[in-house]
Amino acid sequence: QVQLVESGGGLVQAGGSLRLSCAASGRTFSNYAMGWFRQAPGKEREFVAAINWSGGRTYYADSVKGRFTISRDNAKNTVYLQMNSLKPEDTAVYYCAADADTNYRSSYYYTREGPYDYWGQGTQVTVSS
89: which DSSP letter? Answer: G
Contact 55, 40 (CB under 8 A): no
Distance CA 112, CA 126 (A): 24
pLDDT at position 77:
95
Distance CA 120, CA 123 (A): 9
What digits encode the pLDDT tens for the residues 1-60? 899 999 999 999 999 999 999 999 977 888 899 999 999 999 999 999 999 999 999 999
Distance CA 58, CA 107 (A): 9
